[in-house]
A and B are shown apart, each in its own frame.
Chain A
Amino acid sequence: MASTAERIQKLVAENLEVDGQPVSVPDDLNANLSDAGVPSMDFVAFAKVIVAEFDVPLTPDDCAGFSTLKDLAAYIDGQAA
């Protein structure tokens, strides 16, 4: 079973790009989607994708509020605990 971090990396790769370029996320997930230039429309879609993948409550506002994807992973793991 892939880790939460690996699954998030995969979802980012499959769903997010900026100007046609894939958004790169380091293995430690220490990356911020706003800093990557991800637009609000993609935040909305990405939050839905995360909800479908992990079955956790998450709004686009929540998604945009995490400082890094590492924080998002911690939230997801916390919901599962």
Chain B
Amino acid sequence: MGAWRDGDWWCPFKLVGEATVIHVDLTPDAAREAKAMGWLDGSEHSRWRRFQFAGPRRRFSLCRAALRAILCRRLGCENGQLGFETSRHGKPFATVNGLPVPDSFNVSHSGDHGLIAFAPAGRLGVDIEERVAHRNLDLLVETVLGEQEQALLARTHGDTRTHLFFKLWTMKEALIKAQGMGMALDPSRVQIPPAMLGGTTQSTLQSPEIPGVRWRLDDLGNEQFAAAVAHELCAAPRVSRGNGRAPGTPANL
């Protein structure tokens, strides 16, 4: 691999409690994409080739290379030592020399923007969406929003409605991704704290799916995209696999 200038296409975006969120620039750039491919392993190259379109290939390679570069620095390892596995519902976690590491991360991308969230411990989920018109928006509203959220959306129109939908979607998606349950968790059952429905950009909540765990939820949206990050607070020691943590490794290490 050639010389690597850290931060070529990514930069710090937000510090959110214990979590750091990085923005990844995913605009087309052949030189960056070629450089990124140098970081990917054989299975990642295979995955890259399976994508049908250039856009998903670009987003995957640029985000994965940024993730690898940052994790290598955080974990003090070489790229060749770093690997990724997935939990039962498809949430990826990092390994070094085949062993899961305690650091949490989560990746999301949409259009020309990617976000990668990192934390030393605690489950983590991030979501970003460019606010583009969706042909099935009404169907999505019925499917993913709860009654109170739908009522709130019904009082809005045009761009305001679109912005509110994407804000709610990204907050729900961040929480679902943090909990590591993928699409098995019905988004309409994920309730956004009332304060955040009212416009507050940060709150804490508990999920009925995982009793006893508190989550911090932050709305990270700006004029370019909707985005949110969810992070587990006061992580209790866990010993089960599938969440990026070695068996018996306390979550607060």
Interface set of A (CB-CB < 8 Å, partner B): 15, 18-19, 21, 23-24, 32, 35-37, 39-45, 48-49, 59-61, 63-64
Verify A64–B52 contact, CB threshold 8 A.
Answer: no
Binding-face segment, B14-22, B94-102, B133-141, B147-155:
B133-141
Chain B residues in 8 Å Cβ range of A39: 110
Q: Smallest Cβ distance from A79 to chain B, in angstroms? A: 19
Given A59-B184, A64-B182, A64-B183, A49 and B136 contact (CB-CB distance below 8 Å): yes
Chain A residues in 8 Å Cβ range of B182: 61, 64
Say yes or no: is B38 at the interface (Cβ < 8 Å to chain A): no
Quick one: which of A21, A36, A42, A44 contacts B144, CB cutoff 8 A? Answer: A44
CA distance A43 to B134 in the complex (A): 13
Verify B136–A37 contact, CB threshold 8 A.
Answer: no
Verify B52–A37 contact, CB threshold 8 A.
Answer: yes
Q: Smallest Cβ distance from B93 to chain A, in angstroms? A: 19
Instruction: Give the dominant DSSP class at A's interface.
Output: helix
Q: Smallest Cβ distance from A47 to chain B, in angstroms? A: 8
CA distance A23 to B53 in the complex (A): 9
Q: Smallest Cβ distance from A67 to chain B, in angstroms? A: 12
Given A45-B143, A48-B143, A59-B183, A23 and B136 contact (CB-CB distance below 8 Å): no
Verify B173–A36 contact, CB threshold 8 A.
Answer: no
Given A40-B183, A41-B169, A44-B183, A49 and B139 contact (CB-CB distance below 8 Å): yes
**4 shortest A-B CB distances, which residue pairs?**
A37-B56, A45-B136, A61-B183, A60-B183
Say yes or no: is B50 at the interface (Cβ < 8 Å to chain A): yes
Q: What does the 1/0 interface line of B38-76 toward A look like (CB < 8 Å)?
A: 000000000000111101110100000000000000000
Verify B169–A36 contact, CB threshold 8 A.
Answer: no
Given A15-B135, A37-B56, A49-B139, A44 and B51 contact (CB-CB distance below 8 Å): no
